[in-house]
Amino acid sequence: MTPELKAGRLVLRSLQPGDAPAIHRLINDWSVVRMLSRLPFPYPRELAEQWIDSTRRDSAQGSAHHFAITRDGALLGAIALVLSDDRRSGSLGYWLAPTEWGQGLTTQAGQRVVEWGLTVLRLEKITADAAQDNVASAAVLGKLGFVKTGTSSRRFVSRGQDCPIDLFELPRATFLAKTQEPVEVSAPPPAEVTPVVAEPPKPRTLLVVAAALLDAKGRILLAKRPEGKRLAGLWEFPGGKVERDETPEQALIREMREELGLDLTGACLAPFTFVSENAGPFHLLMPLYVVRRWRGVPTPREGQTLEWVAAADLGRYAMPDPDLPLIPLLQELLG
């Protein structure tokens, strides 16, 4: 299913039948439709209805995810990721009402959809194309990190002719490398000091503690990161950063209280394994504890979604890359 995503003030949500009048009004505009290759001009109202139905079928099948771009409840445009048959790559497309151009809204929506596609859907790459006279679209793709890979031509129904298009691509590896660029750059040496061969800045190590909470059926509690946070939409083991002057166990007890309303004091916190992985802007060192008893009922206190998951099903939940090696270990423990 197509989730609801947040991008600043924008809410990206699946299209609803009631969106047809707004979609028709906004697309039936020459400055919009001339850049969309498959649509006729004028654009009939029935096509808006048929298109919305088709986006809902695509979403149910998981073959494409179409989002209405909305702000304060008003529909401003749409953005979509259409997946390849093997679901390993996706193609990005979008349009925005001309009254909203020039504010960076397409880039904002695009960043969120691209991040979601490459992290939660784990696509290997996202492609896009734009008519060569669509300078604004090429600029958006550039800001999203796409690079031009070639040219081609396509029939534009609205223009009644074939038009040259540019082809673009954003591989997952390029996207991750960009988000992994260190944020802090060391200051340049003073002028009188002989420069030494610069070593790449090392990412700082972040100590995060996490728990595999197990229920009586041997299921594990996973929490989905809420919209607005880094890596939103990914499932993880409840936990968080170890603060200065805390032991990992104290941090785990505090985090379980803050995040889930659970009391783990006096509970057996069994060290199970740990993660030591590059995790983007930092190096993640994450001890994982197995916990079978606590007081209270897990309650999402920070906007997360909670689910009890059988070990055999863990692979179906999109998790941050550093967590992936933990899955077979937990399956072995609980299998």
Ligand X SMILES: Nc1nc2c([nH]c(=O)n2[C@@H]2O[C@H](COP(=O)(O)OP(=O)(O)OP(=O)(O)O)[C@@H](O)[C@H]2O)c(=O)[nH]1
Burial 65-95 (b: 16+ CB within 10 A, else e): bbbbbbbeeebbbbbbbebeeeeebbbbbbb
Toward ligand X, which CB reaches closer, 115 or 323?
A: 323
Identify whether the C-beta of residue 263 lies closer than 8 Å to the C-beta of residue 316.
Answer: no
Buried b or exposed e, range 257-295, using 16+ CB within 10 angstroms: bebbebebeebebeebebbebebbebebbbbbbbbeebe
Taking CB under 6 A as the criterion, the residue among 236, 256, 260, 262 binding ligand X is 236
For ligand X, which is the closer residue by CB, 19 or 115?
Answer: 115
Q: Does 115 engage in binding with ligand X (CB under 6 A)?
A: no
Which CB sits closer to ligand X, 116 or 168? Answer: 116
CB distance 144 to 108 below 8 Å: no
Q: From the list 210, 221, 260, 314, which residue makes contact with ligand X (rule: CB under 6 A)?
A: 210
Asked whether position 229 contacts ligand X by CB under 6 A, the answer is: yes
Binding test (CB under 6 A) with ligand X, winner from 47, 79, 208, 262: 208
| CA–CA distance, 32 with 98 (Å, rounded to integer) | 7
Residue 169 engages ligand X in binding (rule: CB under 6 A): no
Using CA atoms, how far residue 334 sits from 56, 317, 326, 331, in Å, is 38, 17, 12, 5
Distance CA 45, CA 136 (A): 27
Per-residue binder mask for ligand X (CB under 6 A), 245-284, x = binder? ----------------------------------x----x
Determine the 3-state secondary structure of 54 from DSSP. helix
Per-residue HEC secondary structure of 147-205 comes to: EEEEEEEEEECCCCEEEEEEEEEEEHHHHHHHHCCCCCCCCCCCCCCCCCCCCCCCCCE
Q: From CA 146, how far away is CA 187, in angstroms rounded?
A: 30
Tell me which stretch binds ligand X (CB under 6 A): 7-15, 45-53, 112-120, 223-231.
223-231
Comparing CB distances to ligand X, the nearer of 128 and 251 is 251
Minimum CB–partner distance for residue 58 and ligand X (Å) = 30
Q: Which two tokens stand for residue 277?
A: 């992985």
The rounded distance, in Å, linking the Cα atoms of 128 and 80 is 11
Applying CB under 6 A, among 231, 253, 269, 290 the residue interacting with ligand X is 231
114 binds ligand X (CB under 6 A): no
Residue 285 lies near ligand X (rule: CB under 6 A): no
- 24-32, 73-81, 227-235, 309-317 -> range binding ligand X (CB under 6 A): 227-235
Asked if residue 212 binds ligand X (CB under 6 A), the reply is: no
Task: Answer yes or no whether residue 230 interacts with ligand X by CB under 6 A.
Answer: yes
CB atoms near residue 183 (< 10 Å): 10
Residue 95 found at the interface with ligand X (CB under 6 A): no
* Distance of closest approach, residue 186 Cβ to ligand X, in angstroms: 23
300 touches ligand X by CB under 6 A: no
- Minimum CB distance to ligand X smaller for 218 or for 281: 281
- Give whichever of 49 and 321 is closer to ligand X, judged by the CB atom: 321
Count the site residues for ligand X by CB under 6 A.
Answer: 15
Please give the residue ranges that form the binding site for ligand X (CB under 6 A).
Answer: 208, 210, 229-231, 236-237, 239-241, 279, 284, 320, 322-323
